[in-house]
Homo-oligomer: A and B are copies of this chain.
Amino acid sequence: MDEFELIRRYFAHLGATRADVKLGVGDDAALLRVPEGTDLVAAVDTLVEGRHFPAGADARSVGHRALAVNLSDLAAMGAEPAWATLALTLPSADIAWLEGFARGFGELASAHGVALVGGDTTAGPLTISVQILGHAPRGSALTRAGAKAGDLLAVTGTLGDAGAGLALATGALEMHDFASARELLLRFEYPTPRLEFGIAARGTASAAMDISDGLVGDLPKLAAACGLAAHVDVERLPMSRALHAAADVDQARAWALGGGDDYELLVAVPPEKFGTLAARAMQLNLTLTPIGALRPGNTVTWTLHGAEFTPPVQGFDHFRRASTQITV
């Protein structure tokens, strides 16, 4: 099977069928109709084998994650996803792998109404770049900037699960509680982009970003974009029962602070609007936990039970990985 046959077979009709796709995979470019009165929202994220997922990881999970990390960026903007392109570099034309990858990618795309509209398949070390395109009503998208001093900081869901899941996937962690282990592993392998919550937060949250590199790495970026200081009460970080089953509280907290890969949303919200936003989260079957606040200044500080606290881990950095980061 040649390259073109490969592309046709697995990627010609992946994801949703949309009337606004005038021309999809198979020409030099795709033709898309962006709804009037909207801003186009575009993001790109790459996964590299052995770096963002363990070598030999299940192809279906890789397909899911390649799209999920991009959908999470749109969630952070409060945007509605619509179209994706895929640049797939593969060591060989491995049919079983392609089938699994296409299944993971396609299921998530269909679930969120995303059509794959373009792709490029090349030979080389396994690398997957997805560009996601979506839209939001003009001027309504959330950004990292815009919050005011006094706004609360809050996160969706629970933190640290994916960090523990990655440790399980690489054999760095073993657990006898199989139900909890499975839950943590799924949180790493099949992250859930918080798209509905992002849309619900438009007009209520004052700033938003997704937590992809760990709270310790990501929060300073939001604070800097707002031109404010941030403070977090570490004991407020939402952690799952499964995470507590995996390790003692210090290790659990380390994952919650710096583990990365959770793809929860970090939002700033004026205190008087927090109740509204939390209620919307509840309607989506999602928790929204206040963890701190923004203040005048330019520092990021952490306390644990009232005492100053230094996070034990750094954010995910591809060129200088923190020593506590598990190498995959």
Nearest B residue to A45 via CB reads B120
Nearest B residue to A31 via CB reads B39
The answer for the CA separation of A83 and B41 in the assembled complex, in Å, is: 12
Chain B residues within 8 Å of A225, by CB: 26-27
A27's partner among B3, B77, B138, B317 (CB-CB below 8 A) is: B77
14 A-B pairs with CB atoms under 8 Å apart are A2-B317, A2-B319, A3-B317, A26-B144, A27-B77, A27-B143, A28-B210, A34-B40, A40-B133, A46-B129, A49-B124, A51-B123, A51-B124, A123-B318
Do B319 and A123 touch across chains, with their CB atoms under 8 A apart? yes
Shortest Cβ gap from A81 to chain B (Å): 10
Q: Which of A85-93, A172-180, A288-296 lines the interface with chain B?
A: A85-93
* A84-104 contact mask (Cβ, 8 Å, vs B): 1 or 0: 011101001100000000000
The answer for the CA separation of A79 and B92 in the assembled complex, in Å, is: 33
Chain B residues within 8 Å of A317, by CB: 2-4
Interface residues of A in 101-156 (CB under 8 A from B): 117-125, 127, 129, 131-133, 136, 138, 141, 143-145
The answer for the CA separation of A306 and B42 in the assembled complex, in Å, is: 52
Do A42 and B28 touch across chains, with their CB atoms under 8 A apart? no
Copies of this chain, how many? 2
Do A122 and B44 touch across chains, with their CB atoms under 8 A apart? no
The answer for the CA separation of A92 and B319 in the assembled complex, in Å, is: 7
Do A22 and B39 touch across chains, with their CB atoms under 8 A apart? yes
Query: Is A33 an interface residue when CB atoms closer than 8 A count as contact?
Result: yes
The answer for the CA separation of A45 and B136 in the assembled complex, in Å, is: 26
Chain B residues within 8 Å of A124, by CB: 48-51, 125, 127
The answer for the CA separation of A50 and B124 in the assembled complex, in Å, is: 9
The answer for the CA separation of A96 and B81 in the assembled complex, in Å, is: 37
Q: Name A residues whose Cβ lies closer than 8 Å to a Cβ of B.
A: 1-4, 6, 22-23, 26-34, 36, 39-52, 73-74, 76-77, 79, 83, 85-87, 89, 92-93, 117-125, 127, 129, 131-133, 136, 138, 141, 143-145, 208-210, 221, 225, 317-320
Chain B residues within 8 Å of A132, by CB: 29
Chain B residues within 8 Å of A79, by CB: 29
Q: A1-B319, A40-B133, A127-B127 are in contact. List 10 more A-B contacts (CB 8 A).
A: A26-B144, A26-B225, A28-B43, A29-B73, A31-B143, A42-B133, A47-B122, A120-B129, A121-B318, A133-B133
A74's partner among B29, B39, B42 (CB-CB below 8 A) is: B29
Shortest Cβ gap from A150 to chain B (Å): 22
Do B28 and A32 touch across chains, with their CB atoms under 8 A apart? no
A28's partner among B39, B77, B121 (CB-CB below 8 A) is: B77
Most chain B CB inside 10 Å of its own CB: which residue of A1, A76, A119, A127: A127
Most chain B CB inside 10 Å of its own CB: which residue of A2, A119, A129: A129
Shortest Cβ gap from A268 to chain B (Å): 14
The answer for the CA separation of A283 and B134 in the assembled complex, in Å, is: 38
